[in-house]
C-alpha cells in the first residue's frame, strides 16, 4: 500500500472541548478516566419511578456557570448547550483567534443520534396537555419549538457561535454519529473545501421517551441496585449499556495551516472508514465481519499494519451481543495482534451517550496519545470466555501510544473505524 | 489521506429516479402532473387542521403501504421511511439495477433527514405520557431516529458500503447527493441517495408553525408564492426523491441510461442575524460553479429554493442576479405544486432538474403572476418553457442558515 | 376478564409484526413456532409489549421466545388472566 503522498492535505486536532459525566472539561474528564472512576448513578434529571432502567451517566452541568446567557439557556436544548460550551472550550484550547476573513474557510460538522429530544419531549407534554390530546394546542408553542424538531439546529448553534460560514451540517448515524461527523469534517479539509472544521458530537437523551424506548428492547442495564458498577463492558456479568449524555467538540485543522501558526497538535486523523452490516436494525452477528472491514479500510488509508496499533478504544457498550461482536471484529482485522494490544471501553465510566460518545472517545484517544496512558475498562472482574483480549481491567496503564484505533457500532447497522496518530509520527 | 491513495476521482452520474410526491407517485406521473400544473397542495386531511393557523399541506393522499412496503417492515417504520423504501425500489427498477448482482461493499446509502419519524414519535410520546412507560413499544428505538431510513434501505438491499445521514433541513438533500459523489471515489460504485420527509402530523405541523414561515393563507392556489409581491410564506409537504448515483465508468460499462452528472457542489452558512455580515448564498453558487469547472454562462436553468418569505426571497433573488446578471438565466420553483419537502425537497428538485435536462422543458413556477418589482429574475411562470437545457443549478436553503448549491449536467456535456 | 381467542392473538401478531405476504395468518399457524414464522427479536419484544398493554398480565423476560407457538402463547396468557367470577361475591 502506498504511503500518504507528500503535500497531501491532512486533518489534525488542535483543540478539544469535553462535557462528560464526571468531567465537565478536558482536565476533569481525563482525571476521571485515569482514576478509573465511574460516573453512573441514579437518574436525577427526571423521576424514573416505573421505568425498567433507572440509572444513567449524567453531566453535572450548570449552563450559567459554563458561560451561557439567559436567552441561550432558554432557547437551546440541553444538547445544543453542551455542543456550544464544548466548541468554545475547543476554540480557546486551540488558540485560534476569531478571523472574519477566514469565516468562509471554516465549517462545522456536528453529530447527534437523537437531536433535541429533551426539548421536544418537554414541549410535547405541554402542547398535548400531558399526553391527553393528539391535536396538540399550537397556542402553547414556544418560538424555538421548530428548532427542537430539526436536529440540524445543533449545527446551527455551533456555527453561529463560532462565526463559521463554510459548509455546516449535522450527521445523524445513530451511535456512530460522533465518529462519522469528525470523519466527514476531516474529508472536507482534505478535499480543500475548508481549512478549519469545528467538529464533534452531542446528545442529551436522558429523558422519559428515550429511557422507555431502550427499556422496551431491554438494551439498558436494569442493575438499579448498583449504579456505580452497572456498566460492565466485556465482563461476564454484563447486562446492557448505561445511558449517558454529553459532548465533545474539536478544532480540526489542515496540518500545514496548524503548523504555520505554531498550533499544538494532539493527533492526526490518519484513517476513517464506515461499513453497514445490512443485517438488522439492532441485532449484531457474532462474527463482527463488517466492523472488521471498516477497520481494515481505515488501516489501509492510514498506511499502517496491525503491529502499528498501540491502543484500541472500543465501542464496548456492555451489551451481551456487542462485546462479542466487537472482539471478533478485532481478531478478524488484526489477527494475533488483537491479543497483544490493549483495548478498553470508557463507556464503563461515562456511560453510552449514543451519538456523542464517538466524539468523546476520540477525545479520550487523543489524550491517550498525548499522555502515553491508556484508560481502563472499569468494573471488569469476571472473564467472559468469548471476550478474551487485554481490556485493561480496572486500572489505567502507562503505555507508549502513538497510534489509536477507535471504533463504533450503531442501530441501523452502522460500523465505523477511525485511526488517529501522534503528530509527526510519519515525518521523514 | 481518507481515500486510498492512488484512486482516481470518479465522475458521478444518476442512473435511476424514484419519486414520491404530493402530485404524483413515480417519476412519470410526477413529471406529467408538474408539466400540466397539477398541484398536490390541499387542505390537510390526515387530521383536522381547523384549529391551526395553517391548514394546507402537500400530502400524498392516496399512499398505501400495501404493495409499496414489505408488510413486516411497516409496523417498525415511520411514514417517512415508507416513502424512502418505496422510492428506493422505484429508483433501482428505473436504473435497471438488482443489488443481488453487485458486490455488497460497493453499494452504499446516504439520505437526508430533517425531523425523522415525526408521526411515529408523536404516537409513542403520546402513549408514554397518557398511559405510562410500558406503552412505549419495541420499535420506537429504531423508527423515529434520523438514521432509520438509511438503515432500513441498507438492510433491505444488502448494501454494506459506507452509509450516512445528513441533516440540514431543506438543504440536506443536496448535501447527501454531493456526499454520494464523494463516496464513489473510495470503494462504492453505487450509492442510493436523496431524501424523503413526512412531518404532516399535528406535532410536526405545530412545530413548523413555530418557525414562523408557514403561510396562513387558506386558498391552495395563493398560499405559496415565491418571489411574488403577495408572498406570505410557504406550504409544507411530504415525500421526496431517491436516486441511484453511480460511478460513470460502471454506468457506461453496463450501458445504463444516464440522466446526468452530479458535476459540482458547494455548501455555505449564513452569518447570524446581528453579525452585520452578508448572507452566504451567493458564495455557495460561485463555489459550486467553480467545483463544476464551468462559468456562470454555462448554466441554462436555476431551480431556486423559493422560500416564499419576502426577506428570504430577496436574498435569493439578489444572489442569482449577482452571479448571472439581471434576467440572466431562467429561474423556476416547481415545488409550488408540492410544498417544501424538507429532507425530500432538495432531492426532488434535483430529480426534477434531471427530467428537465432529459426533455428540454422547464416546468413553471405555479401561481406566481406578479413578481416583486425589484427582483430582476426571469421566472418561468404560466406554462412550461421549451429550451435547450444542458446544465442546471439547484439551490436549497435550510432553516438556520444552510445554503447548498448543486450543478447537474446532461450526459455528453463534459468531455470524457 | 374474558379469555383470549386465536383471533385476538392474530390481531396482536398483525399489529406487532405486520403482514408478511408469504405467510397467511388465517391458515393454521397455531403450531408453528414464531421463529419459523419469521419473527425476529424485536417483533417478539413487541408482541410481549402489546400483550402487557392490552391485558393485565406480567410476562417473563424473553417470552414469547422464537420456539413459542401461537397456541402456546394463547394458553399461557389465558392461564395468567384473572379468572372470571360470576355472581356478586364480596369476600
Restricting to B residues 322-361, those with a Cβ less than 8 Å away from any Cβ of A are: none
3-class secondary structure, A65: coil
Q: How far is CA A418 from CA A71, A359, A407, B66, in A?
A: 37, 11, 6, 42
Residue B5 maps to a domain: no
Restricting to A residues 217-256, those with a Cβ less than 8 Å away from any Cβ of C are: 217-218
According to DSSP, the residues that pair with B268 across neighbouring strands are B403
Residue B115 maps to a domain: yes
Residue A140 maps to a domain: no
Distance from CA of A184 to the nearest CA of B (A): 9
Q: How confident is the model at residue A426 (pLDDT cuts 50, 70, 90)?
A: low
H or E stretch at B41:
strand B41-43
Alpha helices in A95-176 (DSSP H): 117-127, 145-149, 153-162
| A355-387 pLDDT, tens digit each | 999 999 999 999 999 999 999 999 999 999 999
3-class secondary structure, A40: strand
3-class secondary structure, A16: strand
The predicted model scores a pTM of: 0.97
| A213-232 pLDDT, tens digit each | 999 999 999 999 999 999 99
CA distance A148 to A141: 11
**Burial bucket for residue A109 (CB in 10 Å: 0-12, 13-18, 19+):** buried
In a shared domain, residues B111 and B154? yes
Question: Is residue A183 within 8 Å of residue A362, measured between CB atoms?
Answer: no
Whether B151 and chain C come into contact, CB under 8 Å, resolves to no
In a shared domain, residues B275 and B168? no
H or E stretch at B352:
helix B345-359
State residue B27's pLDDT score. Answer: 98
Question: Is residue B218 within 8 Å of residue A153, measured between CB atoms?
Answer: no
In a shared domain, residues B242 and B279? no
Residue ranges with strand state E in A85-207: 106-111, 168-171, 196-203
Q: Is the CB of B75 less than 8 angstroms away from the CB of C17?
A: yes
CA distance B197 to B244: 18
Residue A136 maps to a domain: no
Least confident of A31-40, B238-247, B321-330, C36-45: C36-45
In a shared domain, residues B227 and B371? no
The answer for residues whose C-beta is within 8 angstroms of residue C89's C-beta and 6 or more apart is none
| A231-266 pLDDT, tens digit each | 999 999 999 999 999 999 999 999 999 999 999 999
> DSSP readout, chain C?
-PPP-HHHHHHHHHHHH---TT--TTSS-TTS-TTTTT--HHHHHHHHHHHHHHSS--PPTT-S-TT--HHHHHHHHHHHSPPP--S----
- Over range B266-291, report the average pLDDT: 96
- Over range B288-293, report the average pLDDT: 98
| B117-140 pLDDT, tens digit each | 999 999 999 999 999 999 999 999
Whole-complex ipTM = 0.97
Q: Which of C42, C49, C61 sits opposite A282 (nearest CB)?
A: C42
Distance from CA of A230 to the nearest CA of C (A): 19
Residue B318 maps to a domain: yes
pLDDT at residue C87 tops 60: no
Distance from CA of A216 to the nearest CA of C (A): 7
In a shared domain, residues B217 and B308? no
Q: Which of B133, B145, B172 sits opposite A113 (nearest CB)?
A: B145
Q: With left for phi above 0 and alpha for psi between -120 and 50, is residue A246 left, alpha or beta?
A: left
Whether C58 and chain A come into contact, CB under 8 Å, resolves to no
Mean pLDDT of chain C: 86
Residue B1 maps to a domain: no
Chain C positions touching B67 (Cβ under 8 A) are none
Residue of chain B with shortest Cα separation from C46: B138
State residue A3's pLDDT score. Answer: 38
3-class secondary structure, B365: strand
Residue of chain B with shortest Cα separation from A277: B160
State residue A350's pLDDT score. Answer: 98
In a shared domain, residues B326 and B378? yes
Residue C1 maps to a domain: no
Q: How confident is the model at residue C29 (pLDDT cuts 50, 70, 90)?
A: confident
pLDDT at residue B74 tops 60: yes
Chain B positions touching A217 (Cβ under 8 A) are 138, 141
> DSSP readout, A241-258?
B-BB-EEEEEEEEEHHHH
State residue B413's pLDDT score. Answer: 77
Residue C63 maps to a domain: yes
Residue A144 maps to a domain: no
CA distance C17 to C39: 7
Q: Which of A218, A280, A281 sits opposite C61 (nearest CB)?
A: A218
Chain A positions touching B398 (Cβ under 8 A) are 152
| A185-206 pLDDT, tens digit each | 999 999 999 999 999 999 999 9
Chain A positions touching B161 (Cβ under 8 A) are 275-276
Residue A396 maps to a domain: yes
Question: Is residue B168 within 8 Å of residue A168, measured between CB atoms?
Answer: yes
Where a domain ends, among B220, B253, B286? Answer: B253
State residue A7's pLDDT score. Answer: 74
Residue A427 maps to a domain: no
Residue A6 maps to a domain: no
- Over range A399-411, report the average pLDDT: 98
- Over range A114-135, report the average pLDDT: 98
Residue of chain C with shortest Cα separation from B135: C53
Residue B179 maps to a domain: yes
Q: Is the CB of C41 less than 8 angstroms away from the CB of A216?
A: no
C-alpha cell at B309: 418569505
Where a domain ends, among B212, B229, B253? Answer: B253
CATH of the domain at A61: 3.40.47.10
- Over range C42-68, report the average pLDDT: 94
Residue B402 maps to a domain: yes
In a shared domain, residues B177 and B202? yes
Crossing angle of helices B27-35/B345-359, nearest 10°? 80
C-alpha cell at B4: 486510498
Q: How confident is the model at residue C28 (pLDDT cuts 50, 70, 90)?
A: confident
CA distance B327 to A122: 48
CA B204 to chain centre: 18
3-class secondary structure, B344: helix
C-alpha cell at B307: 422560500
- Residue B213: name the closest of A14, C50, A150 by CA: A150
Residue B416 maps to a domain: no
Residue of chain C with shortest Cα separation from A217: C45
Question: Is residue A272 within 8 Å of residue A417, measured between CB atoms?
Answer: yes
In chain B, % of residues over pLDDT 90: 95
In a shared domain, residues B337 and B358? yes
- In three state form, how does the secondary structure of B263-284 look? EEEEEEECCCCCCCCCCCHHHH
Best of C53, C62, C64 to mutate (most B CBs within 10 Å, chain B): C53
CA distance B192 to B359: 24
C-alpha cell at B88: 428506493
CA distance A299 to A301: 5
Range of the domain at A53: 11-116+151-422
State residue A6's pLDDT score. Answer: 61
Between strands B164-167 and B12-21, the pairing is unpaired
State residue B185's pLDDT score. Answer: 83
Q: How confident is the model at residue A2 (pLDDT cuts 50, 70, 90)?
A: very low
Chains that touch C (3 or more CB pairs under 8 A): A, B
Range of the domain at B294: 264-409
Mean pLDDT of chain A: 96
Q: How many domains does chain C have?
A: 1
Chain B positions touching A51 (Cβ under 8 A) are 133
- Residue B116: name the closest of A255, A359, A112, A222 by CA: A112
Whether C42 and chain A come into contact, CB under 8 Å, resolves to yes
CATH of the domain at C15: 1.10.1200.10
Compute the CA torsion angle A1, A414, A149, B345 (nearest 10 deg). Answer: 70
Residue C45 maps to a domain: yes
State residue A183's pLDDT score. Answer: 98
C-alpha cell at A23: 468531567
Angle ∠(A214,A218,A221) on CA atoms, nearest 5: 90
Q: How far is CA B328 from CA A76, A214, B311, B404, in A?
A: 42, 55, 21, 20
CA distance C52 to B132: 12
DSSP-derived letter for residue B105 is G
pLDDT at residue C84 tops 80: no
State residue A166's pLDDT score. Answer: 98
Residue C36 maps to a domain: yes
Chain B positions touching A167 (Cβ under 8 A) are 175, 266-269
Restricting to B residues 199-258, those with a Cβ less than 8 Å away from any Cβ of A are: 199, 202-212
Chain A positions touching C40 (Cβ under 8 A) are 280, 283
pLDDT at residue A284 tops 50: yes
Residue C73 maps to a domain: yes
Which residue has 414541549 as its cell numbers? A123
In a shared domain, residues B105 and B241? yes
CA B52 to chain centre: 26
Residue C90 maps to a domain: no
State residue B5's pLDDT score. Answer: 44
CATH of the domain at B86: 3.40.47.10
Residue B171 maps to a domain: yes
Question: Is residue A113 within 8 Å of residue A172, measured between CB atoms?
Answer: yes
Residue A415 maps to a domain: yes
3-class secondary structure, A393: strand
Residue of chain A with shortest Cα separation from C53: A216
**Burial bucket for residue C2 (CB in 10 Å: 0-12, 13-18, 19+):** exposed
Chains that touch B (3 or more CB pairs under 8 A): A, C
Q: How many domains does chain A have?
A: 1
Angle ∠(B28,B31,B32) on CA atoms, nearest 5: 80
What positions of A carry a catalytic annotation? Answer: 175, 315, 352
| B136-182 pLDDT, tens digit each | 999 999 999 999 999 999 999 999 999 999 999 999 999 999 999 99
3-class secondary structure, B246: strand
Q: Which residue has the higher pLDDT, A33 or A141?
A: A33
Chain A positions touching C41 (Cβ under 8 A) are 282-283
Q: Is the CB of C17 less than 8 angstroms away from the CB of B72?
A: yes
In a shared domain, residues B283 and B193? no
pLDDT at residue C27 tops 70: no
C-alpha cell at B366: 405555479
CA distance B302 to B317: 11
CA distance B342 to B241: 11
In a shared domain, residues B171 and B302? no
> DSSP readout, A79-93?
HHHHHHHHHHHHHHH
Q: Is the CB of B76 less than 8 angstroms away from the CB of C53?
A: no
Angle ∠(A227,A314,A243) on CA atoms, nearest 5: 30
CA distance A373 to A33: 10
Max Cα-Cα span within chain C: 52
CA distance A390 to A17: 29
Mean pLDDT of chain B: 96
Q: Which residue has the higher pLDDT, B307 or C87?
A: B307
Whether C49 and chain A come into contact, CB under 8 Å, resolves to yes
Best of C17, C38, C39, C42 to mutate (most A CBs within 10 Å, chain A): C42
In a shared domain, residues B69 and B132? yes
Q: How many domains does chain B have?
A: 2
- Over range A107-129, report the average pLDDT: 98
- Residue A192: name the closest of B401, B186, B395, B287 by CA: B287
Q: How far is CA A293 from CA A298, A329, A414, A416, in A?
A: 9, 8, 12, 9
Where a domain ends, among B202, B219, B253? Answer: B253
Compute the CA torsion angle B160, B162, B163, B165 (nearest 10 deg). Answer: 170
State residue A1's pLDDT score. Answer: 28
Q: How confident is the model at residue B186 (pLDDT cuts 50, 70, 90)?
A: confident
Whether C11 and chain B come into contact, CB under 8 Å, resolves to no
Angle ∠(A8,A12,A18) on CA atoms, nearest 5: 160
3-class secondary structure, A29: helix
H or E stretch at B108:
strand B107-112
Amino acid at each position: 500500500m502506498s504511503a500518504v503522498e507528500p503535500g497531501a492535505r491532512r486533518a489534525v486536532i488542535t483543540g478539544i472541548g469535553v462535557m462528560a459525566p464526571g468531567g465537565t472539561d478536558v482536565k476533569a474528564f481525563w482525571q476521571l478516566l485515569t482514576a478509573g472512576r465511574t460516573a453512573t448513578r441514579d437518574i436525577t434529571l427526571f423521576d424514573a419511578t416505573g421505568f425498567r432502567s433507572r440509572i444513567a451517566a449524567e453531566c453535572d452541568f450548570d449552563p450559567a456557570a459554563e458561560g451561557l446567557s439567559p436567552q441561550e439557556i432558554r432557547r437551546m436544548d440541553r444538547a445544543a448547550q453542551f455542543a456550544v460550551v464544548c466548541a468554545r472550550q475547543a476554540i480557546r484550547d486551540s488558540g485560534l483567534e476569531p478571523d472574519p476573513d477566514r469565516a468562509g474557510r471554516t465549517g462545522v460538522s456536528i453529530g447527534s443520534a437523537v437531536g433535541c429530544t429533551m426539548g421536544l419531549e418537554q414541549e410535547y407534554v405541554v402542547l398535548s396537555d400531558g399526553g391527553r390530546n393528539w391535536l396538540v394546542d399550537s397556542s402553547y408553542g414556544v418560538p424555538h419549538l421548530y428548532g427542537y424538531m430539526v436536529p440540524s439546529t445543533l449545527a446551527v448553534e455551533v456555527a453561529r457561535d463560532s462565526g463559521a460560514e463554510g459548509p455546516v451540517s449535522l450527521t445523524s448515524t445513530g451511535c456512530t454519529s460522533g465518529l462519522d461527523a469528525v470523519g466527514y469534517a476531516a474529508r472536507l479539509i482534505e478535499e480543500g473545501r475548508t481549512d478549519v472544521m469545528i467538529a464533534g458530537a452531542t446528545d442529551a437523551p436522558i429523558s422519559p421517551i428515550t429511557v422507555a424506548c431502550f427499556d422496551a428492547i431491554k438494551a439498558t442495564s436494569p442493575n438499579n441496585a448498583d449504579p456505580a458498577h452497572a456498566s460492565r463492558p466485556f465482563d461476564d456479568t454484563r447486562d446492557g449499556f448505561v445511558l449517558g449524555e454529553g459532548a465533545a467538540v474539536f478544532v480540526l485543522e489542515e496540518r500545514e495551516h496548524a503548523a504555520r501558526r505554531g498550533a499544538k497538535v494532539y493527533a492526526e486523523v490518519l484513517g476513517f472508514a464506515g461499513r453497514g452490516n445490512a443485517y438488522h436494525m439492532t441485532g449484531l452477528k457474532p462474527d463482527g465481519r463488517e466492523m472488521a472491514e471498516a477497520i481494515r479500510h481505515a488501516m489501509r488509508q492510514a498506511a499502517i499494519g496491525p503491529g502499528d496499533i498501540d491502543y484500541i478504544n472500543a465501542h464496548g457498550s456492555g451489551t451481551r451481543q456487542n462485546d462479542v461482536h466487537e472482539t471478533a471484529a478485532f481478531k478478524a482485522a488484526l489477527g494475533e495482534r488483537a491479543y497483544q494490544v490493549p483495548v478498553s471501553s470508557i463507556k464503563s465510566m461515562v456511560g453510552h451517550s449514543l451519538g456523542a460518545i464517538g466524539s468523546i472517545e476520540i477525545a479520550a484517544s487523543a489524550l491517550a496519545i498525548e499522555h502515553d496512558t491508556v484508560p481502563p475498562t472499569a468494573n471488569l472482574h469476571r472473564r467472559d470466555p468469548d471476550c478474551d483480549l487485554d481490556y485493561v481491567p480496572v486500572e489505567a496503564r502507562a503505555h507508549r501510544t502513538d497510534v489509536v484505533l477507535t471504533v463504533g457500532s450503531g442501530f441501523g447497522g452502522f460500523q465505523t473505524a477511525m485511526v488517529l496518530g501522534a503528530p509527526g509520527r510519519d515525518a521523514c | 489521506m481518507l481515500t486510498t491513495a492512488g484512486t482516481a476521482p470518479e465522475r458521478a452520474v444518476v442512473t435511476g429516479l424514484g419519486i414520491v410526491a404530493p402530485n404524483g407517485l413515480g417519476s412519470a406521473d410526477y413529471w406529467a402532473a408538474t408539466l400540466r400544473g397539477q398541484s398536490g397542495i390541499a387542505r390537510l386531511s390526515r387530521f383536522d387542521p381547523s384549529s391551526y393557523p395553517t391548514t394546507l399541506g402537500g400530502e400524498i393522499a392516496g399512499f398505501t403501504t400495501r404493495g409499496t412496503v414489505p408488510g413486516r417492515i411497516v409496523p417498525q417504520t415511520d411514514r417517512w421511511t415508507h416513502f424512502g423504501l418505496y422510492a428506493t425500489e422505484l429508483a433501482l427498477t428505473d436504473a435497471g439495477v438488482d443489488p443481488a448482482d453487485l458486490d455488497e461493499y460497493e453499494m452504499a446509502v446516504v439520505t437526508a433527514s430533517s425531523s425523522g419519524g415525526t408521526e411515529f414519535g408523536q404516537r409513542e410520546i403520546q402513549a408514554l405520557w397518557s398511559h405510562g412507560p410500558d406503552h412505549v413499544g419495541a420499535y420506537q428505538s429504531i423508527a423515529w431516529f434520523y438514521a432509520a431510513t438509511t438503515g432500513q434501505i441498507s438492510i433491505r438491499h444488502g448494501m454494506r458500503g459506507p452509509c450516512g445521514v445528513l441533516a440540514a433541513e431543506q438543504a440536506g438533500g443536496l448535501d447527501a447527493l454531493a456526499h454520494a459523489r464523494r463516496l464513489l471515489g473510495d470503494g462504492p460504485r453505487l450509492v442510493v441517495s436523496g431524501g424523503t420527509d413526512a412531518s404532516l402530523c399535528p406535532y410536526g405541523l405545530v412545530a413548523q408553525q413555530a418557525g414562523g414561515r408557514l403561510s396562513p393563507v387558506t386558498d391552495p392556489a395563493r398560499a405559496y408564492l415565491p418571489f411574488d409581491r403577495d408572498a406570505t410564506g410557504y406550504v409544507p409537504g411530504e415525500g421526496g426523491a431517491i436516486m441511484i448515483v453511480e460511478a460513470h465508468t460502471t454506468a457506461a460499462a453496463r450501458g445504463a441510461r444516464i440522466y446526468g452528472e452530479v458535476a459540482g457542489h458547494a455548501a455555505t452558512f449564513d452569518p447570524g442575524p446581528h453579525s452585520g455580515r452578508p448572507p452566504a448564498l451567493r458564495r455557495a453558487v460561485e463555489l459550486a460553479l467553480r467545483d463544476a469547472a464551468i462559468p456562470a454562462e454555462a448554466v441554462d436553468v436555476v431551480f431556486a429554493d423559493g422560500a416564499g418569505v419576502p426577506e428570504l426571497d430577496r436574498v435569493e433573488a439578489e444572489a442569482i442576479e449577482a452571479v448571472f446578471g439581471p434576467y440572466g438565466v431562467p429561474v423556476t420553483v416547481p415545488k409550488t405544486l408540492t410544498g417544501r419537502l424538507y429532507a425530500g425537497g432538495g432531492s426532488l428538485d434535483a430529480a426534477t432538474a434531471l427530467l428537465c435536462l432529459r426533455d428540454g422543458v422547464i416546468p413553471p413556477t405555479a401561481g406566481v403572476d406578479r413578481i416583486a418589482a425589484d427582483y430582476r429574475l426571469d421566472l418561468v411562470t404560466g406554462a412550461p418553457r421549451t429550451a435547450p437545457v444542458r446544465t442546471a443549478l439547484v439551490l436549497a436553503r435550510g432553516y438556520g442558515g444552510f445554503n447548498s448549491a448543486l450543478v447537474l449536467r446532461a450526459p455528453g456535456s463534459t468531455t470524457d | 376478564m374474558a379469555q383470549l381467542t386465536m383471533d385476538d392473538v392474530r390481531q396482536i401478531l398483525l399489529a406487532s409484526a405486520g403482514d408478511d405476504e408469504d405467510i397467511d395468518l388465517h391458515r393454521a399457524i397455531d403450531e408453528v413456532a414464531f421463529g419459523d414464522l419469521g419473527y425476529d427479536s424485536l417483533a417478539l419484544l413487541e408482541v410481549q409489549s402489546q400483550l402487557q398493554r392490552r391485558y393485565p398480565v406480567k410476562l417473563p423476560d424473553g417470552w414469547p421466545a422464537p420456539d413459542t407457538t401461537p397456541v402456546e402463547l394463547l394458553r399461557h396468557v389465558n392461564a395468567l388472566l384473572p379468572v372470571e367470577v360470576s355472581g356478586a361475591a364480596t369476600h
